[in-house]
Structure 1
C-alpha cells in the first residue's frame, strides 16, 4: 500500500505553492437583467439554471454566452412567496428532471415541491404537464424559506421558514387571533414542517422515502421528514458530502433586549439532528424570557437544557430536545465574536464549502487558500466571507472575498465544474428595474494584459485644432509599469507618454490610436476620433441653477450659446426641453463614477467620437438609441454589455469597439443616461433659449423626483464637416420629495409601510453604513432639511448628510429617535452647512453611539430655506 502511495506523495510534494493575491479574484458578469432571481444550480456541463421569484426558469449557456427562458412556473406571488427553490435531479444529465419549490393559492395557500422534466430537442422547454407533486405544506404569512439542496446520496434538504409575522416582542403570542405571531405553533411543533430543515430521499417516480437518521423515527412523536427544528427563516442549505455536515443560514429577529436577548442572524452547522432553539432561544443559545402577551409581564428565561412547548397552538410533543447554539451569530451592532461581519441591517445567506481540487485543469478555479472554507454572504450588507472550518468543525479565521466590489444583494452562490463560483444577486429592484445579476467569481493567474483608456480635453475644434489627450485611465491589473504610444491617421508624428498634446491642421476626421504595453509584451489598444474644422457649440444655462423647485411654480429660464463658426445665434434656434422624472430609475446615475455622473464619464471616454445627442454620426445618435429601446426593461443590461464587449449588426456594419476599461456598474450608468433621454418631440419650452416654464402641480403620494432641463444647440456644420451638437443639463429637485426616489443607494431597503389610518407610505430603510445618493444638488440658500422618520422600540440611530461621497464632508447630523412603531412617524430637523457648488448629496446611516440597533425608516425629505 505504501509503495502505491509513494508516487502520489511525490507528485504532491513538487506542486508549487500558489500565493494568494486578493486582487486577482474578479467578478465576471454573465447576465445583468435578472428580476428577483433567488436560486441557481450549475449542471455538470456548465449550464447555469436559475429561477426568478415571479415564475421564470432561465438557463445561461457558457458555450453561446446567451440566456434562454425555459418556461414560467404557475406560481402565485404573495408576501415573500413565489418561486423559491430549484434543484437538479442527481441524474439530471440523462433524465433532465429538476425540482421546483413554489407557492400556490388554491384551494388554500401552500408551498409545493414538485418534479418537472425539460422537453424539446435542446431541452429548452419546461414541460408543465410533466409535474409530479412531491410534497406540500401550508403557508399564510411571511418567512417562507425555500432554499433546497440535493446531496451526493440523493437526499433532498429543504429549508422551510416558520411562517410567522416578525415583531419586536417574542414570537410566542398565544392570544386568540394572534396565531400568526406564535412560532411555537410551527418551528417548535414536532408535527409541523414549518420552521424546519427537512430531509427526504428522492425516488425517480416523483415520490420520496425517509432516510435513516432524521430527528423523529416515531410518527407519533414528530414528522419523520424533520432533521432540524427550531428554525426561524432558514434560507440557504448546503451539505458537505466529505464530512456529512449540514450547513444553513438563518435570518433572525429584531426582538427588544428586555425580553431576554436581542436578535441575531445565524450560520448553523451540525452533523446530527436536533432542536436549534427558535422561538425560545437564538444565536449562542441566548434565552428569551417567558412573556405574558396579554398582561405585558416579562418572566423568567427559558431553560436550554430542557425546553418545553406548552402553546395552545402546538400539535406536537411538549418536551423538546435540548437547544443547540448557532455556529456563527451576529446582530445589528458590531459583533464581539465575529467583528469582520460588520453592523447594520442583516440577512444571512450561504454558499458552498469549497474543496480545492489540485488535479482540475482550470485557469479560473479558486486557489488552495479557499480549501475547506465555507462561503457565507449577507443580503443586506452586500458582502461575501470565507470561513475556515476547523478539523473539529469549529469556526476558524474568516476572510473577506471581493472586498471593495459593489454587490447587489447576494442571494445564492454555487461552485461550478470549472472550480469557479457562480453568484446570483437579487438586485435593488427599485421601481421595477431589472438590475439583478448572474456572475462568475474567477481567479486570474499569470500576467494579465493592461487596459487602455483615452480621455480628451476636446474632441472637435476649428483648424488648427489643439487638444490634450490622456491615457491616465489606463491601468495594469498586476501593477506593472506601462509604456504609452500614440499614432495618428493624419500622418502626425507618433508620440510617447501618458499625457500628450496633439494639433491637427488638416480639415477632416482623424483617428488617434493609443497602444499601452507592459514589460511582458502584453498590450491593449484604444482609439478616439478627433474632428478638425468645426468646433462644438458651448451651451450654458444661466438660470435656473441646479437646485429645487416648488410644485406648480413658474420658473424663468435663460440659456446662452456661443459657436466659433456660426457667429451670432438666434435664441429661437436653441432647444430647451423639460422632463419630470418621478422614479430613481429614470435618472442616469451610478455609484462610483464621479459626481458628474454618467454623462461626465461618457465625455471622458470615446463615446462622443462616434455618437452625438441628436444627429447620426459613425454610429446612431443617443436619442435614436433611447427611442429604439424605450419601454424595454432589459435594454439597460443589454446596452451595458454591448459597451463593454463591442459588436455590430444593430445599426449597420460599423463595428463598435469594446470598452474593457469600464466596470459593469459604469456601463450600466452610461446606458441608463442614454435611455433616460426624453423623446425628440418632448416638451419643448416656449421662447427657445429664454422664457419660463411651469413645474408640475401638486404630487400624489408617490410623486417626487426632479425636473431635468436639457438645453441644446446644433450648429450648421463648417468646412465640409458635419454638424456638432452642444448640450447641457440642469437638475431641479422637488423641494419636498420621497426618500425612496433616490438616484442610487447602498444596503437600503425600499418598502411600503401601512399606517394606522390604512394608508401606505413608500419609504427607505437605513442602517449603519447604508446610504442614499441624490445627484447634482446645489444647497445654496438651504438652512435645514426636514426628515419624516420612524423607528420601532429598540431601534433608531443617527442620520447624516454628507457632500460628494458617503464619507465626504459632514454637512448635517441628527439623532433619529424611537417613535414607538414603524408606522408612527416624527419630523426631525437637520441644520445644513452649504458645501458650495453642485455636489451629490448622500443621506447616510451614521455610526450609532448608543445601545439601540441602528435601523430607521425615512419617508419624506423637505429642503427648507428657513429654520422652522
Structure 2
C-alpha cells in the first residue's frame, strides 16, 4: 500500500522547471485562488471531537462501509471482514477470504489482499456487499458481490463481477477502492502493478522517476504495459453499471468505445499510479481520488520531474498522465535503459506508447493536469499541505443533511481530503463549476493515526478508519473513529504536561503541572494517573507526590469539566530510585560564536548522584550543522534527558510511520539500526545524512524517503537518540573531557553552527534501565549572512547575484542580533555589496541602550568590551543622508 505500503515509495517530491509553462492558465487560476485561503469564519476546530469506537483490534485494515443501521464493516488486507455492531459496541469477524497477501520472495513485500469494500446503495433491501480482492489461487485482482446474512458473509453467494491479471511476487501499487455514484454506477480503482524501485544488477535504472524499462524480463519495471496501456485494466479507475443478476453493462461516457480491440470500455480514468482512495460527489457526479506518487527527490533534465502526490478531480472520462506526466502535466522523458540516453519529453496532447509490452493504442488520449499536487518538500502552489512523507487520500464531498446536519453548514459542498502519512485533514472549497478555490485545515485539533479510509455515514457524520503507525502489523492505535461536532459543551484543551524533574533517588518527589483550559470556562477537575494503579484527584492543575518504591512509572492526567467531558494528556515516564546524571560543559571564552583558526577551550563535568562516574560512559563530540539566526538556532547551553530530545522530535516527525523502536515495520527497528552502526564513530552524521537525503538498498528494496525540509540539527538529535538504543554498556569518548577544538578555515559555509555535545549514560539499577543525559553548546560562525538577520526596521530583504541581502530602503534603519555574548568581542564588520558613507551605532539591549561603538559603515566598528557572562540583544542603528544606501550581505564578528 503506498498503495499504502509503498508509502515509502512516494514519500519524496519535486517540481519540474522546464515544464512550468505547460497548462499555464490552469496553474494561474490556482495560484490566484490561493490568495484567499486565510479564512476568518472557519468553525471552531475544538468543537470537533474524536470518538473512538474500536481501537487496538485490527490487523492492517484497508476500507470500511457504514451500513444503514450504523453497523460498520471493515476489510483487512489479510482477508478478514469484521463487523462492528452499533448496538452492542462489539467487534466480531463476519467472514474471511483466502487471499494472496505475502510473497515468497525474500525482501519483497506484497501489497495485495482484501483491498476494498462497499455496501450496495440498496443494502437495506438486498444485503449486498462488494469486495475487491486478490484470490490466493489465481494471479488476478477480482471484484465480487457477496451477501451478508445474519452478520456473516455468505461465501457461497459470491458472484464474480470482473477480474484481471495482476503480476505477483513483486511490489507495488494495487489501488482497490470502491465507490458508488448517485446514479448507482460503481467505480473501482486499480494500481499500475509496477515496481518503482531500481532493477537489480542493471547499469541504467528508474532512480524514482517514471518506470519505463521495456527490456525483456523486466516487464514489472514498465508502467506503460499497465497504466499507460489503453487495453489493460491496471492503473485505472473503472466505471460500470451493475445489473441485478451480478453482471454489468458499460455506461455512456466512459473513456473508450465498447467495441475497440485496442482499449477496454470499462475504463473511466486512465494514467494512474496508485489511486488508493476514491470518492464520488453524489450531487455533481464528479470523481475524486488521491494519487500516490513516485519517489525521485529532484528534477532531472534528462529524466523528468521529481515525485508528487496528487488529489484529482474528473468531471468526465479522461487520461491523467501516468507514467508520462505527473503533477501539473510535468512531462517525463523517454529513456533508453540499454544506453542511458534520453529522448524527448512526452507530449500532453497525446503521448506515444511504443513499449513492446503495450497491447493498446499507440497514442494515448490527451493528459489532464492534477487538481492538487504537492512534493515531499514545501509546495509553492499549495503551501497548506506542509512537507514530509506523503500519501494523498480523497474523502467525500460533504453535504448537510436537511434539518439534522451534524456539522456546520459552512462545510456544505466542500471536498474533504486527508493524508495517511502527514495525518492532516483539509476542507477544499470549490467554485460552483468545481474549480479549486482554496483549502483550509479541518479537524486540526484531532490527532489521527494513519487514516486509511473515510466515509460519511447515513447519520451525516464522518467515520474514519485508522491503519495505525506501523506496517504489516497489528497496531495498537488502529481503530474506527467517529467525528462528532459539539454545538454545546466542549471538552477541556490540554496544552502540555510538565514534570519538573523526571527522575530522582528515593524518596523521589514528583512535581507535576498541567496546562489546561476549558473552552466554555468551566471549572476543571484533574485525575492523575501515577502508574502502578496510583491515582490522585485534585481541583488545581498541580500535583506533588512522593514515590517510595523504585521503578519506572507512566504519569498522565485526565482533565474533566463540570459535566465530565474529558481530555487525556500525553504519558511521561518518571524514574524513582535513579536520577538522571548531570552533564555540564564549561567554555573559557565566547559562548555565542566560533572563529576560524581560533581554539575553543572546553571542559566537560559529569556528576551522578548516588553513583560513581564511569568515564568510559562519557561521549563527547563536535559537529558542524546548518543553522539560522542566533535565537532560531537554539544556541547556548541546553541540558535534558536524551530521550526527551531525540525521541520527542522523532515522534513529531513521520519517522514513526515506518520505524518502531523494537519491532520491524516497513523499515528496520531503531534498535537494529543502533546495533548495526554502534562501532562507527561517525554513525550520527552518517545516519543524519541518510535521513536528510534518503537512501535505498541497505535494509531491503523499499527506499527511505528524503527529508530535506527537516533541520539538520534536529535530525542529528534523532539519530543520537537512536544510537543510545544499543544494548552496549559503554561508549568510548571520541573527545577528551577537556581540551581545545580549533575550527578550520575551510568549514562549509552552510555549516554555520558548531555543536559541542556531551552525553553520559549511567549504569542504571536492578529495577531501572540506565538513564542518559545530553548537554549541548551551540556556537554560531562569526560571519552572519544577511539571510539569517530577521529583526529589521527600515531594511528589506532582496536578492543580489543569487544571494540574499538586506538593503536600507528608508533614510534611517536598524536591525538586531539576539543571544549575543560579548566576551572577547572587539567589534563588527559590515560586508557591503556597495560603498556607502552611512554611520552605524551599536547599542546594548535596545535602540536607546548603552552606546558600545560608533563609526562609518565601510570600516570596522570597534566596541567597548563587555565580559559579564550574559547574553544580550545587540542593535545596529544606521544613520545618514548618503544617496547610496547600504546593501549588506553579511556581518562579521571580530574577536580580540
Give TM-score scaled by structure 1 length. 0.58
Asked whether the 8 Å contact 2:422–2:654 carries over to 1, the reply is: yes
2:148 to 95, 103, 118: 118
**Larger RCO (alpha carbons 8 Å, 6+ apart):** 2
Please tell me whether residue 137 in structure 1 is matched to residue 44 in structure 2. Answer: no
Find the aligned partners of 2:647 and 2:719 in 1 and give their Cα distance. 21
Q: 1:92 aligns with which of 123, 128, 133?
A: 123
Summarize the Cα distance change of 1:277–1:765 in structure 2 as closer, same or farther, 3 Å threshold. farther
Counterpart of 1:600 in 2: which secondary structure? strand
2:398 is the counterpart of 1:443: no
Secondary structure (helix, strand or coil) at the match of 1:284 reads coil
Q: Which residue of 1 aligns with 2:230?
A: 190
Task: Return closer, same or farther for 1:448/1:346 CA change in 2, 3 Å cut-off.
Answer: closer
Residues 679-828 of structure 1 mapped to structure 2, 5 A cutoff: 746-748=653-655, 764=667, 785=684, 787-788=686-687, 790=690, 791-792=694-695, 795=706, 797=708, 800=712, 802=714
Q: Distance in 2 between matches of 1:172 and 1:309?
A: 10
C-alpha displacement of 1:162: 0.6
User: Secondary structure of the residue that 1:257 maps to in structure 2?
Assistant: coil
Matches within 5 A, 1:623-638: none
Residue pairs, 1:280-359, within 5 angstroms: 280-359=324-403
Q: What is the aligned partner in structure 2 of residue 151 from structure 1?
A: 181
1:538 corresponds to which of 548, 553, 560: 548
Q: How far apart are residue 137 of structure 1 and its match?
A: 1.3
What is the aligned counterpart of 1:43 among 62, 67, 81? 67
Equivalent position of 1:600 in the other structure: 555
Query: Equivalences for 1:412-431 in 2 at 5 Å?
Result: 412-429=453-470
Matched, 1:477 2:384: no
Residues 1:253 and 2:294 are matched in the alignment: yes
Q: Is there any run of 5+ residues in structure 1 with no aligned partner, and where?
A: 1-16, 458-466, 485-497, 500-509, 517-525, 541-575, 577-587, 589-597, 607-643, 646-657, 674-688, 692-730, 734-738, 753-759, 813-829, 843-848, 852-868
CA distance in 1, matches of 2:271, 2:536: 66
The answer (yes or no) to whether the contact 1:35–1:427 under 8 Å persists in 2 is no
In the aligned structure 2, how far is the partner of 1:369 from the partner of 1:422?
19
- 1:201: Cα distance to partner? 1.2
Structure 1 SS opposite 2:410: helix
Q: 1:278-677 counterparts in 2 under 5 A?
A: 278-360=322-404, 365-429=406-470, 432-448=474-490, 475-478=517-520, 480=521, 482=523, 538-539=548-549, 599-601=554-556, 661-663=566-568, 666=570
1:156, 1:199 within 8 Å by CA — same for their partners in 2?
yes
Describe the shift of the 1:456–1:388 C-alpha distance in structure 2 as closer, same or farther (beyond 3 A): closer
Distance 1:98 1:432, change over 3 A: closer
Q: Does 1:64 align with 2:88?
A: yes
Question: Aligned residue pairs: how many?
Answer: 577
Provide the rounded CA distance (Å) in 2 between the counterparts of 1:190 and 1:841. Answer: 59
Supply the distance in 2 between the matched residues of 1:115 and 1:188 (Cα, whole angstroms).
Answer: 29
2:233 match: secondary structure: coil
- CA distance change for structure 1 residues 176 and 511 in 2, over 3 Å: closer, same or farther? closer
1:351-409 deviation digits (Å, cap 9, x = unpaired): 1011123422x5xx111111111111111111111111211211111011222433211
Change (3 A) 1:39 1:839: farther
Determine the C-alpha separation between the residues in 2 that align with 1:219 and 1:468.
Answer: 76
**Unpaired runs of 5+ in structure 2?**
1-39, 103-109, 197-205, 500-508, 528-533, 576-609, 613-640, 697-704, 725-753, 762-770, 776-787, 789-801, 803-896
Contact 2:647 2:718 in 1 (8 A): no
Q: d(CA) in 2 for partners of 1:161 and 1:105?
A: 18
Contact 1:748 1:765 in 2 (8 A): no
2:566 & 2:492 partners in 1: Cα distance?
9
Residue 32 of structure 1 is matched in structure 2 by 55
Say if 1:46 and 1:840 are closer, same or farther in 2 by CA, change over 3 A.
Answer: farther
What residue in structure 2 maps to residue 128 of structure 1? 155
The DSSP-based 3-state class of the residue aligned with 2:134 is strand
Q: Counterparts of 1:448 and 1:429 in 2: how far apart (Å)? A: 31
**Aligned twin of 1:818:** none
Write the deviation string for residues 68-117 of structure 1: whole angstroms up to 9, x where unpaired.
Answer: 2212122120311111000101221122110111112424x211111111
Aligned partner of residue 94 in structure 1, secondary structure = helix
**Cα root mean square deviation, aligned:** 5.1
Q: Identify the match of residue 171 of structure 1 among 186, 200, 211.
A: 211
* CA–CA separation in structure 2 for the residues paired with 1:74 and 1:476: 50
Distance 1:176 1:796, change over 3 A: farther
- Rounded to whole Å, the distance in 2 between the matches of 1:132 and 1:293 is 43
Distance 1:184 1:445, change over 3 A: same
Residues 447 and 229 of structure 1: CA distance in aligned 2, closer, same or farther (over 3 Å) = same
**2:22 corresponds to 1:22:** no
Aligned equivalents of 1:512, 1:112: Cα separation in 2: 56
Tell me what 1:162 maps to.
192
Aligned counterpart, 1:834: 758
Please tell me whether the aligned partners of residues 743 and 772 of structure 1 are also in contact (alpha carbons under 8 angstroms): no
Contact residue 512 and residue 527 of structure 1 kept, 8 A: no
Paired with 1:286 and 1:774, the residues of 2 have a C-alpha distance of 37
Give the CA deviation at 1:432.
Answer: 4.4
Q: In 2, distance between residues paired with 1:191 and 1:468?
A: 69
Preserved CA contact (<8 Å) 1:801 1:841: no
CA distance in 1, matches of 2:758, 2:389: 30
Matches within 5 A, 1:179-258: 179-217=219-257, 218-255=259-296, 256-258=298-300
Return the TM-score normalized by structure 2. Answer: 0.56
SS in 2 for 1:184: helix
Cα shift at 1:483: 7.4
Equivalent residue, structure 2, for 1:706: none
| In 1, Cα distance between equivalents of 2:294 and 2:774 | 32
Partner Cα separation in structure 1 for residue 493 and residue 332 of structure 2: 56
CA contact (8 A) 1:196 1:227 kept: yes
The 3 A distance-change label for structure 1 pair 469 and 385 is same
Shift, 1:475, TM fit: 4.2
Q: Are the counterparts in 1 of residues 760 and 774 from structure 2 also a CA contact under 8 Å?
A: no
* C-alpha separation in 1, matches of 2:62 and 2:416: 17
1:744/1:774 contact within 8 Å kept:
no
Aligned partners of 1:456, 1:212: CA distance in 2, in Å? 62
How far apart, in 2, do the equivalents of 1:345 and 1:456 lie? 30
d(CA) in 1 for partners of 2:756 and 2:119?
56
Contact 2:684–2:716 (Cα < 8 Å) also in 1? no
Please give the alpha-carbon distance, in whole angstroms, between the structure 2 residues aligned to 1:803 and 1:312: 45
- How far off its partner does 1:834 sit? 3.5
Measured at CA, do residues 512 and 114 of structure 1 come closer, stay the same or move farther in structure 2, by a change above 3 Å?
A: closer
- Provide the residue aligned with 2:114 in structure 1: 83
Distance 1:206 1:832 in 2: 70
